[in-house]
Each structure stands twice: as C-alpha cells, then as structure tokens.
Amino acid sequence: MGDLTHVTIAFETSHLVFPTLIAGVLVLLGLAILLRDRARIAASGAAWRQTFAAMDKPRFLGTIALTLVYFSAMVPVGDLWPNTGLGFLICSIPYVAGTGLLFMHDRSWRQAVPLAIVALAGPTFVWWLFTYPLFLTLP
Amino acid sequence: MFEFITPLFVSLILGGTLVGIIFGAIPGMTATMAVAISLPLTYSLGLENGLALLLGLYVGGISGGLVPAILLGIPGTPSSITTTFDGYPMAQRGEGEAALRIGIISSFVGGIISLAVLWLFAPTLADFAIKFSYVEKFLIILFALTVMAALSSDMLLGIFSGVLGIFVSLIGVYDVSDGGNGKLRLVPPGWEYWLDSGFSLLPVLIGLFGLAAILEQAELGVPRGHSAKDIKVGRHSAFSFSVFRGQAVNLVRSSAIGTFVGILPGVGGSAASIIAYTNAKTFSRHPERFGKGEPAGIIASESGNNGLTGGALVPLLSLGIPGDSTTALLIGAFTLQGVQVGPLFIGNNPGTWNAMIVAMLIANVAMLVMMYVAIRWFARVVTIPKHILFPVILMMCVIGAYTINYGIMFDVWTLAIFGLFGWLAVKLRLEIAPFIIGFILGPSAEIYFVKSLESFGDVTIFFTKSWIAVLLWALILGSVVLSVLLARKARRGEGS
C-alpha cells in the first residue's frame, strides 16, 4: 500500500504535475457531461439556430466588430504620436459615438446630440485624467 | 489607529456608494461591473483609499438593485430578484415609495448585521487558519470548489466550470518565486511572449463582468430605457416604521441567512435573497400574502442580499478565498497594491483591516441616508439611456484592462477573449462564479498540492495530516452529498 501511494516529483517536470492532473479531471468531467447531457448536446444545433434567430444581429455582431476594430486601431494610430495617448483618444471618440448610435433605438438629432457630447467629452476627460493626474500613458 | 480616516477616504466611500447605487439601479448593470471598471482607479489611490471606493461601490451596487425591482418589476441586480415578488405589486397599487423605504431600511439592517459578523468572526477564523499547512490549505480550496458546485444550478457543470478556471489559471510559467521550476506549460507555440505569466487576473474579470454583460444586452437588442411615466413611486403612499413591527425575527433571520450564504464561497446574492425569502414565507403566519405585495417579503429579500456583503468578506480576509464574484474583484485591488489576502492578512495589516470595517460601516450609513432622502431622484436613474451608458462603460473596460499592468495591449485582447468567453459560457450553461474562483485559486492550489507531495512523498498525507484534514474531507463529502440530494429534489420537483 505504501508503494502504491508513494509519489516522487522530479523538480525538472514539476510544472506538469498539477496541469496534467487538472486536465485529467476536466476530461473525466467532460465525459460525464457528454454522457448525461447527450440528448441536449445532440439537439444543440437547433438551440443555437434559435439563439441566432432571436438575436439582435446588427447590435450584437456590430458591437463585436466595432470593438475589434477599436482594439486593432488604437496602437497603430497611437504610434503616429508616440507616448501621448492620442491613439486612445482618437479611436475612442468614434467608438463611443458608433456603439452609441448602434444601441440607440429612435435615431434623431435630439438623441444624437447628447451622445455626441458624451462621445467627445468622455474619452477626452479619461485621456486627460490618466495622462496628467495619474501619469499613466495610454496607447 | 484611525489615521486613515481623511476627507479623501470619506469622499471615496460616499462617491463609491452613490455610483454603486446608480449602477445597481440600472437593469443590466451590476455591483460587480461597477467594481470591475473602477479597479484601475484604485492603483493611484493606495490600498485603504482604493478599498474605500470599492466597498462603497459594493454596498451601493447591491442596494441599488431594489429600485428597478420595486418600480419596474425588473431586478437591477440578480440579488434583488425576490424583491420584485412583493415590491412590484406594492408599486402597482401606488405604494412604491413605501416599498422602497422598507427595502432601504432592510438593506441597512442586513448590511450592519453582516458587518458585525465580519468584524467578530474573520479574525478568529484567520487565527485558526494560520496553523494550516499546505495540505489543509489545498483541502480548503477543494472544499470551496465543492461547495460552489453543490450550490450551482447544475452540480456537474459547476464543478467543470471551477476546474476549467483552475486549468486556465495554470497557463504560463510555473513561477520560481512560488517554488516552481520556471518552465512554461499550456502555452501554444508563438504565444510564449504574451502568455509567459498567463492571463492577467483583472482583464479576465473586466472581460467576464463588463464586456460579456454588454454583449448579452446587445444580443437582446439593448432593451429600451424606461421613461419617467413608467415609474410609479406613489406620491401618496405613506411610509411608517410600524410596518417593521413583528418583523424583528424576519430581519435578523434573513440577515443571518445572507451572511451565512456570503461566507460560502462563490454562491452569490441571488441565492441569499431566495433562501431568505423562502424562509420568511415558510415561517410567516400569512404565507398566502407573499407575492402579492407583502412587506415581509421585501424585508427578507433585501436584508438577505445585503447580509451577503459582510459575509462574503469573511472567507476572503481570513482564508484568501472570495465569497462571491464582487469580492473576487477585490482581490484585484489587493494584487495591484502588492498585498496578499489570507490568514496572515488581518494580523499583518491591522490598519487596512480597520479601514475596511470603517469603510463598510460608513458605506452602509451613506446608503441608508442617500437612498432614504433622495429616493425619488434615484428612481429616475432607471431612465438614463443605455445607448449613452454602455459605450462609456466599454471604453472604461478598455482603460481598466490596459492600465492595470502599466500599459500592455495584450491585456486589452484578454478582455476581448474573456468577454466573448463570458457570453458563450452563459449559452453553454457554464457557471461564471466557480470559473472565476477556480481561476483565482488555481495557482495557490497548485503550489499547495505539489509542495505537499514534494514534502511528504505520499498521497495519503491529504487524509492523514491532521484532524482538520479529516474534518475538511468530511465537509467536502458532505457538500457533494448535499449537491446530489439537491439535484434529486430538483428533478423530483420538475417531474411532479
């Protein structure tokens, strides 16, 4: 019994001990879920189609697309004026305005003007706050 | 002893409580989200002042959820779901203001009782936990995960989520400072530069609680805001303290339930309020009135969910295990300041401990005064248009992720990855709270597990080290049995 429970961990491979154990437990749990929920998993195609049909696609996919473009553009734009945080400022203004317009239901000047003010003032204030009082350089 | 009480400290608590109430009052925004996007601000504030802001946000956020729950029948936060059962019917019959004031006072009582438990209980538990070796520490984490799974809506998926969180936390190098060998694992080729230290905690949290929540709202088409005419505060609804006559037992019991649920890791406010509400109904002389505008229902729900606030800090400050998602975020504030929470925290940081207690006390009093005096103003918060709020929150998420490690763009991409994961996880019925707690505790679990085996060289040490280890195994087994029984009961309930 003592030999069966005895464990020696080599320092060189000690980084793999716990991840291997956890991966094993994950696989076992995954198999248990597969077995238990096999009917639900088999029918998941229909559930996803339903989710996709019920989804507000322009708003959901638009948010993801705008966010990815925003993240991608920040550094290249910021590199044009290094260490000024202008990449963040220049990209955030259209991003806030764009997502705001995307989320807006009844698009009118009356709704758009407050959004435009927030889109300009919000990123500018945050850029100023982090650049000057907090001394944290933005992209 | 109380030199941390400065005008800035008090202002941050008041400001945090105010912003927290506003976040809680807007459906789709939560206390957790408020804390997540405010974390980077704490970087420059110092630990005590930073915690003052975050605790204000926490108390305010949990309390603010009662406003839309009562006025619109929509819980502002998940923890105020049972407040809708009786609060909304009261508002419908013109007693909105009275219902709000009942909720506010109950929230205050729940918060104060849980704070007293935190103050009395956390140092004792920490003193006890100081004696724990790596073996007991590992078993405590195992116990935390099994308790979370037991109280998840699906035990198997709850455990899977927790273990998945641990797995993701192990990505990167096995840190030499923790006694590791400094080698990389679980990193795809080409990603070594970015994932050397794994995914950073705070961008993960901001992604899961900020971006994912807004993606969920976007998927639903960003539901329209409510206009002022939707809000029925009830100008003529007189509030009287006599409504609390005969409710002392309900108040104390519900607050105690909330506090106890808070102490259990990863369970959350919705469970606290549901259990408190169910108990109030069971022990009421008039259970038939519940769900039709019974003040006792609001009292139970709100004292229960605010009871969680102090309770959830007990395991965090005494064992280093967060009690809920929001207190998991507080770990981020400690990490930013280079302070480790665990059994030694209270003894080594008496100033910070006192600051936290005082901050919670002031936050609860501020919440009571602000909401009681300005409830009509807070009622209008639900009309703030989401097309203005959400873009600003998204921008704050980016700022938070970017600045948390002094400007690393990969952290912003981490935010995107975990924002999308958080949205997908809900679809796959994975549980976010166990995932987060697994992610936070994973690296510690690894150290405790590997070091125990390296020291003793035998797996039986986990069962034989001490009587505490045996007790912990009994608790782990008990929580597994409890989860099986709860699952069976739920299945029988569905079948009948």
Is A104 near chain B, with CB under 8 Å? Answer: yes
Residue A139 lies in a domain: no
CB atoms within 10 A of CB B278: 15
Q: Which of A7, A12, A56 sits opposite B459 (nearest CB)?
A: A7
Burial of B300 (0-12, 13-18, 19+ CB in 10 A): buried
Least confident span in A25-29, B244-248, B254-258: B244-248
> What pLDDT score was predicted for residue B233?
67
For residues A98 and A43, membership in a common domain is answered with no
Q: What is the DSSP string of A29-90?
A: HHHHHHHHTHHHHHTHHHHHHHHHHHS-HHHHHHHHHHHHHHHHHHHHHHHHSTTS-HHHHH
Residue A24 lies in a domain: yes
> What pLDDT score was predicted for residue B464?
87
8 A C-beta contact, residue B140 and residue B466: no
For residues A63 and A125, membership in a common domain is answered with yes
For residues A31 and A88, membership in a common domain is answered with no
Q: How confident is the model at residue B251 (pLDDT cuts 50, 70, 90)?
A: very high
3-state helix, strand and coil shares in percent for chain A, rounded to the nearest 5: 80, 0, 20
For residues A71 and A128, membership in a common domain is answered with yes
8 A C-beta contact, residue B109 and residue B117: no
> What pLDDT score was predicted for residue B414?
95
Cα R_g (chain B), whole angstroms: 22
Least confident span in A92-106, B74-88, B241-255, B257-271: B257-271
Per-residue pLDDT tens digits for B74-115: 777 778 888 989 998 998 888 888 899 999 999 999 999 999
Report A:32-71 residues touching B (Cβ under 8 A): 32-33, 36, 48, 51, 55-56, 59-60, 62-64, 67-68, 70-71
For residues A74 and A119, membership in a common domain is answered with yes
Strand partners, B173: B184
Q: How far apart are the first and last CA of chain B?
A: 60
A-B C-beta contacts closer than 8 Å: 167
8 A C-beta contact, residue A78 and residue A87: yes
For residues A24 and A77, membership in a common domain is answered with no
Per-residue pLDDT tens digits for B23-49: 888 877 778 888 888 887 787 788 899
> What pLDDT score was predicted for residue B457?
86
Residue A32 lies in a domain: yes
3-state helix, strand and coil shares in percent for chain B, rounded to the nearest 5: 75, 0, 25
For residues A45 and A110, membership in a common domain is answered with no
Which residue is it, tokens 């975050």? Answer: B54
- Choose among B376, B30, B74: nearest CA to B223: B74
Residue A138 lies in a domain: no
Distance CA B177, CA B179 (A): 5
CA of B319 vs chain A CAs: smallest distance (Å): 22
Q: Which of B387, B398, B402 sits opposite A103 (nearest CB)?
A: B387
Beta pairing class for B172-173 and B184-185: antiparallel
B318 pLDDT above the threshold of 60: yes
For residues A47 and A82, membership in a common domain is answered with no
Burial of B337 (0-12, 13-18, 19+ CB in 10 A): middle
pTM exceeds 0.80: yes
Q: What angle do CA B265, B269, B272 make, to 5 degrees?
A: 85
For residues A81 and A117, membership in a common domain is answered with yes
> What pLDDT score was predicted for residue B96?
86
For residues A71 and A115, membership in a common domain is answered with yes
Contact A137/B160, CB-based, under 8 Å? no
For residues A85 and A20, membership in a common domain is answered with no
8 A C-beta contact, residue B332 and residue B202: yes
Phi then psi for residue B130, to 5 deg, are: -60, -30
Distance CA A7, CA B82 (A): 51
Find the helix packing angle between A57-80 and A86-103, rounded to 10°.
170
CA of A88 vs chain B CAs: smallest distance (Å): 9
Per-residue pLDDT tens digits for B140-173: 888 888 887 777 778 889 889 999 999 999 999 9
**Contact list, A59 vs chain B (CB under 8 Å):** 218-219, 221-222
Q: How far apart are the first and last CA of chain A?
A: 60
Residue A110 lies in a domain: yes
Number of structural domains in chain A: 2
8 A C-beta contact, residue B198 and residue B169: yes
Which value does ipTM take for this structure?
0.93
Q: Which of A16, A23, A114 sits opposite B167 (nearest CB)?
A: A23
B182 pLDDT above the threshold of 60: yes
Residue A1 lies in a domain: no
Residue span of the structural domain in which A30 resides: 11-53
B358 pLDDT above the threshold of 70: yes
A76 pLDDT above the threshold of 70: yes
Per-residue pLDDT tens digits for B451-496: 999 888 888 999 888 898 999 999 889 888 877 787 777 777 665 5
Distance CA B398, CA B392 (A): 10
All residues at 6 or more sequence positions from B492 whose CB lies less than 8 Å from its CB, including other chains = none
Residue A106 lies in a domain: yes
Residue A15 lies in a domain: yes
The helix (run of H) or strand (run of E) holding residue B173 is strand B172-173
Contact B392/A122, CB-based, under 8 Å? yes
For residues A49 and A61, membership in a common domain is answered with no
